[in-house]
Structure 1
């Protein structure tokens, strides 16, 4: 019996093979771990053309109609999480490709968000670098207690950030297109207008799902409403913020700075300003990169493959 060819993509850190026991798939097929970064469509098509099952990590690689049409052997596409904007579901369904997902460990992204807030406001990286260089204190950190935390998008992650802010004695305000005053009040948060959110926040944290409605929502006008000593934090998706407008704002020092884990293009180009601006704390999209989250992703990817192979796929995207 011919074995199924299975690829685990986007294993940039070379950790996927050791997080869970993939040998349980040995009776079904041969698993290959690929560590390359995404490339152009032709390169990806050549790289992936022989695989029947492909496991992808979140939205690292774009599976659009152009790529899917060049993967005639692909029968199952499995993604970490139950949402992946990088997969063209309509094109996949048209080709008869089953797309399945996994659950997520819910605490990883909120914890990273708060780490960035603390790291940025207390100038932790620069102070740690100073110590390593043989020096001592070099500046003044900021306080959170008594300050205003603005949350753009009070969903599941935004609500965790609200709890953290409240635990630190912050006033918490929020806005999104669909947020009501009643829903905000249930989390002890005050619903304000978009402009009031940007004007009042000492720390403004973005927690929206990327969509046509949210793309570019944080534009030059909104950035211009912010306080000169305010911080902008984004652990959601890069394109929610107008990148060119943010770079200009940071270069002109019209706000204190930004703490960013997500970007328009990932991996971030080596010559990108976010790598060198001294008022940016940037991390390489590690909000979901934790052992607990990877164990959940990969273990459920294995379950998805087993269920599909048995003829009863689970966690199927509609």
Structure 2
């Protein structure tokens, strides 16, 4: 096989065990800068796509006549025209790499950053000041988790170490499943109403788009914080901006947005009660290792004629 790893902007794949395995199976080329034209990938019969950095629509596939299989890392294929791939006989293999504990870790980082005012104090210290605001701790607070899947369950377990009370909602969550990680299942509206911190860990779908709407944000405590390391469109962004601007909630920690990169003039950039990060949840040493291993599994199985877990069109 001739294999292309694309969009490795962190130059992270080269030393992974997964790439070492694939080098024994064929010729591996790693693109650490964005490919100027997909025609640069002519001659490769396999591509490893890093998350959703490159869109694969019908026009893109037209430029990739040699590609037979794409190992798509991550859990989503929003950016892939699956029907077009199917028509062209291109396999879109699932190289999920497991769930992203890094997003769960970042959620706690954002909680502490916004609640303890770490960015503001750091900035003032570097200007020669000595600010000593009263800040808020995690211990004893109620953490509301929206979406108790793998990442949400990880967050619930970590929250126990901080001495937090955990409530959770999920569309198919049961009392027993919540109790396994020390959480109490509540209806979504109750989670929003009683939580000191609401952390979003749901998957983006037609059902969850706009799930945290204006009314639900309005139901939050004025002392509450909202954390989102999942997907921007799960939260009504304009409603959140309004609530933060008017101090109807205490603050937010956001790693994901409706439009990414976040536009330079976006009103979130001007708010002092929000901590913003640039979708840092997944790009970590651990996730690149996991993605490379999963991609190797997919491509070696494909080469050997075995069944490959794949994203498939619903049409």
Pick the TM interval, shorter chain. Answer: 0.7 to 0.9
Deviation at 1:99, TM superposition (A): 1.5
**What corresponds to 1:170 in structure 2?**
164
Bigger drift between 14-23 and 82-91 goes to 14-23
CA RMSD of aligned residues (A): 2.5
Q: Is it true that 1:144 corresponds to 2:150 in the alignment?
A: no
User: Residues 14 and 30 of structure 2 are in contact (CA less than 8 Å); yes or no, is this contact kept in structure 1?
Assistant: no
**What corresponds to 1:33 in structure 2?**
31
**What corresponds to 1:231 in structure 2?**
225
Partner SS for 1:8 = strand
Q: Return 5+ residue gaps in structure 2 as ranges.
A: none
> Any idea what the Cα deviations from partners look like across 1:74-115, whole Å, max 9, x if unmatched?
211112234433223332222111112332364322112112
Q: Is it true that 1:91 corresponds to 2:113 in the alignment?
A: no
Mapped to 2, the partners of 1:10 and 1:258 lie a distance apart of 30
Q: Return 5+ residue gaps in structure 1 as ranges.
A: 38-42
**What corresponds to 2:194 in structure 1?**
200
Q: 2:240 aligns with which of 246, 271, 286?
A: 246
User: Residues 9 and 56 of structure 1 are in contact (CA less than 8 Å); yes or no, is this contact kept in structure 2?
Assistant: yes
> Any idea what the Cα deviations from partners look like across 1:251-277, whole Å, max 9, x if unmatched?
222211111111222232333333332
Q: How many residue pairs are counted as aligned between the two chains?
A: 310
User: Residues 105 and 296 of structure 1 are in contact (CA less than 8 Å); yes or no, is this contact kept in structure 2?
Assistant: no
Q: 1:114 aligns with which of 91, 102, 108?
A: 108
Partner SS for 2:14 = helix
Partner SS for 1:145 = coil
> Any idea what the Cα deviations from partners look like across 1:166-190, whole Å, max 9, x if unmatched?
2222221112322233332333322
**What corresponds to 2:117 in structure 1?**
123
Q: Spell out the pairing of 1:292-311 with structure 2 (5 A cutoff).
A: 292-311=286-305
Q: 1:120 to 1:90 in 2, by over 3 A?
A: same
Q: Is it true that 1:255 corresponds to 2:260 in the alignment?
A: no
Q: 1:52 to 1:270 in 2, by over 3 A?
A: farther
Q: Is it true that 1:11 corresponds to 2:5 in the alignment?
A: no
Partner SS for 1:60 = coil
> Any idea what the Cα deviations from partners look like across 1:184-238, whole Å, max 9, x if unmatched?
2333322222221111111000011111100111111111111112110011111
Partner SS for 1:136 = coil
Mapped to 2, the partners of 1:65 and 1:270 lie a distance apart of 31
Give me the TM-score of the superposition, normalised by structure 2: 0.87
Structure with greater contact order relative to length (CA < 8 Å, sep ≥ 6): 2
Partner SS for 2:256 = coil
Q: Is it true that 1:56 corresponds to 2:62 in the alignment?
A: no
Bigger drift between 244-253 and 49-58 goes to 49-58
Q: Spell out the pairing of 1:183-194 with structure 2 (5 A cutoff).
A: 183-194=177-188
**What corresponds to 1:269 in structure 2?**
263
Bigger drift between 218-227 and 307-316 goes to 307-316
Give me the TM-score of the superposition, normalised by structure 1: 0.86
Mapped to 1, the partners of 2:194 and 2:299 lie a distance apart of 48
Deviation at 1:146, TM superposition (A): 1.8
Mapped to 2, the partners of 1:310 and 1:140 lie a distance apart of 61
User: Residues 200 and 227 of structure 2 are in contact (CA less than 8 Å); yes or no, is this contact kept in structure 1?
Assistant: yes
Partner SS for 2:264 = coil
